[in-house]
Amino acid sequence: MEWKQRHVLDLDTWKREELHYILEQTSSMDELLDRPIKKVPALRGKLVVNLFFEPSTRTRVSFELAEKFLSADVVNWSASGSSIGKGETLRDTAWTLEAMGADAVVIRHGAVGAADYLARKLKKSVVFNGGDGAHSHPTQALLDLYTAWKKIGSLERKKIVMIGDVLHSRVARSDIIGFSKMGSRVVLSGPPTLMPRSVDALGATYDPDPRSAVKGADIIYLLRIQRERQDEGMFPSLDEYHQIFGANESLLKLAGADTIVMHPGPVNRGVEIASNVADGSQSMILGQVRSGVALRMALLFVCLGGVRQ
Amino acid sequence: MKILFRNGLLFDGRTLSGGKTDVLAEDGVISRIGTGLDDNGANEIYDLSDLIISPGFIDLHCHLRDPGQEWREDLLSGSRAGAAGGFSTLVCMPNTDPPVDNAALIRYLLEKGEECDGSRVVPAGCLSRERAGNNLAEMGKMAIAGAVLFTDDGSPVSNTNLLRLALQYSSRLGVRIMEHPEDRSLTLGAQVNDGICSTISGLKGWPSSAEASDIFRGASLSMDTGVPIHFTHVSTKESMNAMRISKASGCTVTCDVTPHHLCLVENMVISGGYDGVFKVNPPLRSVQDVDALWEGIRDGTVDAIATDHAPYHMDEKDLPFQESAFGIASLECAVAAILHEWKRRKDLCTLEKLLSLFTSGPASLLPEKWRTLGVIAEGSPADLTVIDPDFERVVDVSKWESKARSTPWNGRTLKGWPVMTVVRGKVAYKMPDHLSRVK
């Protein structure tokens, strides 16, 4: 198919065929990762800049590995804090990168819309959103789709239950879009104080009780609980959170033996997920990490003009 | 100096008459109103056939950034922008640097305003000293010097005791208190409307209750002290209800709404790709909220339309949404935006109702000596605005008199424009090549 998405900013503009196409491309890259020599020359001579304004280990390393396996030239642009705090605006950073000849820029930024902003300012480079505030994290959603698709096949009419801090989660926002576009039904659960106001605008439903929400679930997706949310008074204690909303064996039993468990990492053991669930046979957490590299290879390859017959 | 305006459709501040009327302005005062007036001795004559002649529009709320932030706007650029936008009077907000919290700064603004050749500029003073929200500013001295409102706008008066004292203290000054309704404990870090926009964007939501609860608090204080209070840039359905309930229970409360809250919706933040041009305090609201504001105009809950023109330098606006400054610049297209939207919402309210919210409505909230600005009557000041309800034009922010270089309406075609603004009996603005000057 002809690839029409110039940037990867959010999945809201994607069609289901485009999602499928990327999943299939990811599948080929996934096979590559099993080879003794993983490096291919697909992006030789292309310059990819990783522009991370927020601390991130997983996403940054995953992108970097994907870029290196495809033989791109990789630059990790060190940036800290907001563009204002750094004394250079994001606009100037963008133009500097383009002047240096970047073919692609991966941006992780704490501000919502930073990737959209960068894409507006760059004339030639392709922008990959590595996460912007609590808004969007499209590559995480795509790797989650791939992980689930690989494990359970078609995602049509499947039920995914996301439990936790939806309010502050870019992962949740992008995953809800992605899974919905694939035909899945998304049910959200967690404390009401951690839910966005208009859940229906996301195309999801909300069930405050995780024990009823998980019934018949094909996928249970746990969202990371940040400790500062307790300090902000959004819920009384981590202990209470775990007791009521945490994924433990009894919750998993209510769902079923075939239900898979996913988590974007890093895991807070004993908060949103009990260790025996995180490490159990239904957990896909490490599979997600591996999928992340394959998915990012596929995206870079497709968006930077790679041709595959 | 005599200027004769011929054949206009007269809106006198309350009613719009069908027939053609002549208005003669003489030395800054309206001297005659009638038909077929003698043009003997007039220095200038304009033919206003098919155009509406109205009392000069009054903007109760705009930021002219003077003193101290002149890279954003200053009194001259703001005054010219106001005239180009159809306003003959601007009330400039005191959240400057330093804040306008003393009589010397009120006098500075009035004196500098006299030298400006655009809109008449009258200053609002701070309610609290240094706009810090702790102690009363010298409201008595500022009132004598010519302050027309007292407000800590940009911030609410969070200290309820201070707001109560301010109402009590100002009761004998004849200058109204204007509150920026916002409960800051509910809006900390908030960026967009708490609803569809916050849900989809992940930006922190600004709940309607943050505004409505402050209106109920202020209304209660007004009831308690018996002193009027005005709420500015009221933006939600719930706030409209708060206003309605308060008015019905006998509180002397009034409110204004802004062109952006009447014409734009929260979804534009998303469809606009998180462009900072849509960022404003209070945020753009839901479709239901916008409908409720128009309903408030229809049923008389709304007392005035005020721009909250908040100009910024592009370096402060052209940033990722979360880092962009809160504020929409609109002086030069606000009236057109409202007329355009009013037409789109056919028959929702009469044109005279709408025009009164720019004229007699805001004038009634100013100190006694300014109230004649809101009417066309023999002996009232010759401050006039001429409207062409059918004229279409594209908003081009690059040509603005204002220093602002971004507005959500840029590039939009709007129908219904002010084409001439008269201030103190002189033509302060005339749309190029539009009006026929007979003499």
Contact A44, A72 (CB under 8 A): yes
- The ranges assigned to domains in chain B are 2-52+382-391+413-437, 57-374
Question: 């509150």: which residue's tokens?
Answer: B179
Residue at A6 is within a domain: no
**Could you name the CATH architecture of B57-374?**
Alpha-Beta Barrel (3.20)
C-alpha B131/C-alpha B99 separation (Å) is 6
Contact A254, A113 (CB under 8 A): no
Residue at A127 is within a domain: yes
Look up residue B384 and give its amino acid. Answer: L
Residues A249 and A169 in one domain: yes
CA-to-CA dists, residue A141 to A178, A304, B71, B241, angstroms: 6, 20, 44, 41
Q: What is the CATH number of the domain that holds A226?
A: 3.40.50.1370
Q: At a CB cut-off of 8 Å and minimum separation 6, what does A91 contact?
A: A117, A121, B318, B319
pLDDT value of residue A84: 47
Residues A107 and A248 in one domain: no
CA-to-CA dists, residue B250 to A51, A161, A273, angstroms: 59, 51, 56
Backbone φ and ψ for B322, nearest 5 degrees, come out as -65, -25
Q: pLDDT of chain B along its 439 residues, tens only?
A: 999 999 999 999 999 987 899 999 999 999 999 999 988 789 999 999 999 999 999 999 999 999 999 999 999 999 999 999 999 999 999 999 999 999 999 999 999 999 999 999 999 999 999 999 999 999 999 999 999 999 999 999 999 999 999 999 999 999 999 999 999 999 999 999 999 999 999 999 999 999 999 999 999 999 999 999 999 999 999 999 999 999 999 999 999 999 999 999 999 999 999 999 999 999 999 999 999 999 999 999 999 999 999 999 999 999 999 999 999 999 999 999 999 999 999 878 999 999 999 999 999 999 999 999 999 999 999 999 999 999 999 999 999 999 999 999 999 999 999 999 999 999 999 998 888 788 8
C-alpha A23/C-alpha A145 separation (Å) is 8
Residues A266 and A294 in one domain: no
Residue at A3 is within a domain: no
- Which chain B residue has its CA at the smallest distance from A177's CA? B200
Q: For an interface test with B, give the residue of A95, A170, A198 to mutate (most B CBs within 10 A).
A: A198
Residues A164 and A44 in one domain: no
Q: Give the Cα-Cα-Cα angle A284, A238, A169 (nearest 5 degrees).
A: 55
Q: At a CB cut-off of 8 Å and minimum separation 6, what does B254 contact?
A: B176, B228, B229, B230, B231, B303, B304, B365
Q: Does A113 touch chain B (CB under 8 A)?
A: yes
Residues A232 and A295 in one domain: no
Residue at A162 is within a domain: yes
Nearest partner of B165 among B157, B174, B154, B156, judged by Cα: B157
Q: Does A112 touch chain B (CB under 8 A)?
A: yes
| Structure-token pair, residue A265 | 């990492």
Identify the domain containing residue A66 by its residue range: 16-136+289-303
**Number of alpha carbons in the 13 Å side-chain half-sphere of residue A170:** 24
Residues A154 and A186 in one domain: yes
For residue A307, what is the DSSP state? Answer: -
Pairing label, strands B44-47, B436-437: antiparallel
Residues A147 and A264 in one domain: yes
Residues A176 and A282 in one domain: yes
* Residue range B2-52+382-391+413-437 in CATH 2.30.40.10: yes
Residue ranges in chain A modelled with pLDDT below 50: 82, 84, 308-309
Residues A203 and A278 in one domain: yes
Residue at A309 is within a domain: no
Q: Does A206 touch chain B (CB under 8 A)?
A: no
Residue at A275 is within a domain: yes
CA-to-CA dists, residue A29 to A43, A63, A297, angstroms: 14, 14, 7
Residue at A227 is within a domain: yes
Whether B308 is a known active-site residue: answer yes
Per-residue pLDDT of B152-199, as tens digits, reads: 999 999 999 999 999 999 999 999 999 999 999 999 999 999 999 999
**Candidates B191, B194, B202; nearest CB to A197:** B194
Residues A110 and A66 in one domain: yes
- Which chain A residue has its CA at the smallest distance from B322's CA? A111
Task: Provide the number of structural domains found in chain A.
Answer: 2
C-alpha B110/C-alpha B370 separation (Å) is 14
- Which chain B residue has its CA at the smallest distance from A92's CA? B319
CA-to-CA dists, residue A149 to A7, A30, A182, A211, B337, angstroms: 24, 13, 10, 25, 50
Q: At a CB cut-off of 8 Å and minimum separation 6, what does A101 contact?
A: A47
Residues A122 and A160 in one domain: no
CB contact under 8 A, A112 and B199: no
Q: Does A116 touch chain B (CB under 8 A)?
A: yes
Contact B148, B123 (CB under 8 A): yes
Residue at A199 is within a domain: yes
